[in-house]
């Protein structure tokens, strides 16, 4: 297995089926924490559900439509991030992420997203990377804001999260724009 090492404790790896049990366990442990922002948690009720999701993501990866990565901290799964959608015609990648509660506040996601930006611009020849976050999800919004993404607007009622419609802030970064490789880390 290949990894991208971000520092002595943090690494990224392609999400593979062997991670299904540990990833499910982390998701289940953080279910209430994540449920305020993520609408899909009720569809993941067993490790098999997680494995099916991973299998689907690997197929998308094989087809060049997505890239799903696992974030490790000291060889334990801490969260995930990835290009949920890659548009090869328009060279746009849509980046999403989540981190378990216990790993918040360590700068781990900022480092991971920064690396994903590098991957998007170099390995996928993207021209634009987009991140959407719920307006009130300040921790998630801090990531693109600290990396030089531009706030481009608000999409009203962009996502139904358990009966509550959330507005999204759209952030964009173009290949020719500077992004912060070391600043704020």
DSSP run (H or E) holding 116: helix 108-122
With 60 as the cut, is the pLDDT of residue 28 above it?
Answer: yes
* pLDDT tens digits, 82-128: 999 999 999 999 999 999 999 999 999 999 999 999 999 999 999 99
Instruction: Output the pLDDT for position 178.
Output: 75
With 90 as the cut, is the pLDDT of residue 185 above it?
Answer: no
* pLDDT tens digits, 127-141: 999 999 999 999 999
The domain ranges of the chain are 3-174
DSSP run (H or E) holding 34: helix 31-35
- Provide the mean pLDDT of the chain: 94
Q: How far is CA 63 from the centre of its chain?
A: 19
Mean pLDDT of 17-24: 98
Say yes or no: domain 3-174 is CATH 3.40.630.30: yes
* pLDDT tens digits, 35-68: 999 999 999 999 999 999 999 999 999 999 999 9
Helix (H, G, I), strand (E, B) or coil at 104: coil
Question: Who's near 128: CB < 8 A, 6+ residues apart?
Answer: 90, 91, 92, 93, 172, 173, 174, 175
């Amino acid at each position: 297995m290949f990894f991208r090492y971000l520092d002595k404790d943090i690494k990224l790896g392609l999400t593979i089926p062997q991670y299904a049990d540990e990833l499910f366990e982390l998701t289940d442990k953080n279910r209430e924490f994540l449920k305020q922002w993520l609408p899909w948690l009720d569809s993941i009720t067993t490790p098999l559900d997680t494995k099916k999701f991973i299998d689907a993501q690997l197929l998308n990866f094989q087809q060049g439509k997505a890239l799903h990565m696992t974030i490790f901290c000291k060889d334990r799964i801490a969260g995930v991030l990835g290009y949920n959608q890659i548009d090869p015609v328009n060279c746009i990648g849509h980046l999403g992420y989540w981190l378990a509660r216990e790993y918040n506040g360590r700068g781990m996601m900022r480092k991971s997203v920064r690396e994903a930006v590098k991957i998007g611009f170099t390995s996928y020849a993207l021209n634009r990377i987009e991140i959407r976050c719920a307006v009130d999800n300040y921790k998630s919004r801090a990531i693109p804001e600290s990396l030089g993404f531009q706030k481009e607007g608000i999409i009203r009622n962009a996502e139904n999260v358990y009966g509550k419609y959330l507005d999204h802030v759209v952030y964009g970064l173009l290949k020719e724009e500077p992004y912060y490789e070391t600043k704020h880390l």
